[in-house]
Amino acid sequence: MQILDPGSTSRTIILHPSDDVAIAKAPLTPGRRFDGNGEGPVTVRQAIPVGHKVALHPIRQGAPVHRYGQVIGFATSDIGAGEHVHTHNVGVAQFERDYAFGVDVKPVQLVPAGERRTFQGFVRPDGGVGTRNTIAVIATVNCSAHTTRKIAERARAELLPHFPYVDDVVALVHKNGCGARFGGHEVDMLQRTLAGFARHPNVAGFVLVSLGCEINHLSYLVESQVLYMPGEERRLPPMVMIQEEGGVQATVEAGLTAIRQLLPAADQARRSTVDASHLMLALQCGGSDGWSGVTGNPALGYACDLIVAQGGTVVLSETPEIYGAEHMLTRRAISRDVGEKLVERIHWWEGYTGRNDMEMDNNPSPGNKAGGLTTIYEKSLGAVAKAGTTPLMDVYEYAYPVRTRGFVHMDTPGYDPVAVTGQVAGGCNLVAFTTGRGSCFGFKPVPSAKIATNSEMYQRMVSDMDVNAGRILEGASLADVGTEIFELLLRVASGEPTKSEAQGIGEEEFNPWIIGATM
């Protein structure tokens, strides 16, 4: 998508020559005039809030409405030039997308191995590289959540101060693990997710905490995911079971004993210099606004292109939030098979939402709409900009280990905690999170850097924002801000805390996808 001069001093921005709308950089009052899209001046007929759209010319009922040079919806009534274009006069409808598999694939100019940027990471025995050094306490079921939290709380207070090279002890609890079909897809997805965290390069050791009678039983989890300890013999990992230990209090003590045995080895880990090919970045946006697709997401996309050129990996997700823009990704698919995998997931979501009496346009949220986004198509076109311009190398189902380098997509819901849980289970060791309305998202045990899409929100929530991409509206280039994001990610990977990390945010966000019926 071609973006036209977002740093213009005008009070409006026109993003593409074929657009039907301009975006208000400042509040527009009735009677104000601005330059149109080569069609002469436009007179504002209604108050237009910042980040919202104003019609450049008359749009007939039923006609497509274009932003970014792409369809963002269809007029539900006649719209006059200078009128506010939003949810009251634009809606979604089915339209044909040209998937044109692979036609926009551009070769990546990889930086030679000896010239790559570096960071200070934790190299694990299996070759994985972590950005943090933590112990994870993992609940197998909601029934062991309280006990899991108590084990982690006491370990942080009583044990962690004696092991300075261990960053944290993290409790990973959830609302799942029972009320499902034994051996079913739902339990398999949960087990895959938990195993992804147990094996994650940011986790130096883990303890499993069980009630004892749940569907996601310890023996079932360990066997199905081959979670045995390294070595020739099959040794069980550290685990405690409330029913066998004799209750919560006894299990907390047993859990502390298990962590006490893990900490000395974890404390031996030291950061060493590794190249940037070991970065695996989870891409997220939450609380998006009308500027997300103009500033924060394209700037993050620029940083992603830098990471891919270094041999690293970037993982897009939130399939419902690429809906209506998936053709922009299939055109970058490295093969037709990869493109078809993405289209198949789109069709799955259409069926899934239909079976649950929902619509794909139930997203955007009220906050997204207040910030200027009108339809899921408009939101998605801005969201895909996070992924930069490199080829789409593969498409993964939720929480599967990501083995492919470059840009990939993971199928997840749009709900940020669930999406990031899947990406981190897949191996992501960093998170980059763009936000326009303001988000305090964090995610243990992986650091999450937040990128503000506008300067007003950045200043208002400066204690939570790591980068101000709103500077693009004030004259900074996408390249400048994208490079700033890339440099920040290298520092964060080397141990610099993000704003959310410094505040201890991120334990509540662990949220495995509950996809099926609850029995």
Question: In this structure, what CATH number is given to the domain that contains residue 135?
Answer: 3.40.50.12020
Are both 303 and 260 inside the same structural domain?
no
User: Please, are residues 416 and 506 in contact by the beta-carbon 8 Å criterion?
Assistant: no
Look at residue 130 and tell me whether its pLDDT is greater than 90.
yes
Report the chain's mean pLDDT, rounded to a whole number. Answer: 95
Are both 452 and 304 inside the same structural domain?
yes
Give per-residue pLDDT as tens, 199-252. 999 999 999 999 999 999 999 999 999 999 877 678 899 999 999 999 999 999
Are both 128 and 206 inside the same structural domain?
yes
Give per-residue pLDDT as tens, 84-114. 999 999 999 989 999 999 999 999 999 999 9
Are both 259 and 283 inside the same structural domain?
no
Q: From CA 484, how far away is CA 454, in angstroms rounded?
A: 16
- In this structure, what token pair is assigned to residue 91? 């809606």
**Mean pLDDT along residues 254-259:** 98
Q: From CA 511, how far away is CA 498, in angstroms rounded?
A: 21
Domain contains 221: yes
Residue 51: closest CA among 75, 77, 28: 28
Are both 65 and 199 inside the same structural domain?
no
Are both 262 and 282 inside the same structural domain?
no
Are both 409 and 290 inside the same structural domain?
yes
Give per-residue pLDDT as tens, 477-516. 999 999 999 999 999 999 999 999 999 999 999 999 998 8
Q: From CA 477, how far away is CA 480, in angstroms rounded?
A: 5
Domain contains 180: yes
**CATH classification of the domain holding 34:** 2.30.130.110
Look at residue 5 and tell me whether its pLDDT is greater than 80.
no
> Of 266, 296, 311, which residue sits at a domain end?
266
Are both 382 and 238 inside the same structural domain?
no
Sheet with 90-91, strands from edge to edge, namely 64-67, 70-75, 90-91
The per-type count for the chain, helices as H runs and strands as E runs, is 14, 23
Instruction: Give me the domain span that covers residue 144.
Output: 120-266
**Mean pLDDT along residues 163-192:** 95
Domain contains 417: yes
pLDDT at res. 516: 81
Task: Quote the DSSP letter at residue 484.
Answer: H
Are both 282 and 200 inside the same structural domain?
no
Are both 469 and 354 inside the same structural domain?
yes
> Of 91, 111, 130, which residue sits at a domain end?
91
Q: From CA 201, how far away is CA 122, in angstroms rounded?
A: 8
Q: From CA 90, how far away is CA 63, in angstroms rounded?
A: 10
Burial label, 495 (beta-carbon count in 10 A; 0-12, 13-18, 19+): middle
Q: From CA 164, how far away is CA 466, in angstroms rounded?
A: 26
Look at residue 273 and tell me whether its pLDDT is greater than 80.
yes
Domain contains 50: yes
Q: What is the dihedral of CA 5, 6, 10, 15, to 10 degrees?
A: 80
Residue 286: closest CA among 433, 423, 398, 411: 433
β-bridge pairing 64-67 and 70-75 = antiparallel
CA distances from 336 to 139, 403, 428 (A): 40, 19, 26
Look at residue 10 and tell me whether its pLDDT is greater than 70.
yes
Q: From CA 177, how far away is CA 406, in angstroms rounded?
A: 33
Question: Given pLDDT bands bounded at 50, 70 and 90, which one contains residue 16?
Answer: very high
Domain contains 517: no
Q: From CA 53, how far away is CA 83, in angstroms rounded?
A: 9
User: How many structural domains compose the chain?
Assistant: 3
pLDDT at res. 3: 46
Task: Quote the DSSP letter at residue 127.
Answer: S
- In this structure, what token pair is assigned to residue 310? 């270094």
Domain contains 244: yes
Domain contains 177: yes
> Of 266, 296, 315, which residue sits at a domain end?
266
Residue 316: closest CA among 184, 456, 411, 206: 411
Question: Given pLDDT bands bounded at 50, 70 and 90, which one contains residue 518?
Answer: confident
Give per-residue pLDDT as tens, 45-65. 999 999 999 999 999 999 999
3 state SS for 386-435: HHCCCCEEEEECCCCCCCCCEEEEECCCCCHHHHHHHHHHCCCCEEEEEE
Look at residue 517 and tell me whether its pLDDT is greater than 90.
no
3 state SS for 157-183: HHHHHHCCCCCEEEEECCCCCCCCCCC
Look at residue 131 and tell me whether its pLDDT is greater than 50.
yes
Look up the pTM and report it: 0.96
Are both 285 and 249 inside the same structural domain?
no
Give per-residue pLDDT as tens, 288-315. 999 999 999 999 999 999 999 999 999 9
Q: Which of 12-16, 38-42, 367-371, 432-436 has the lowest mean pLDDT?
A: 38-42
β-bridge pairing 406-410 and 392-396 = parallel
Placement of tokens 């790591």 in the chain = 466
Domain contains 208: yes
Are both 288 and 258 inside the same structural domain?
no
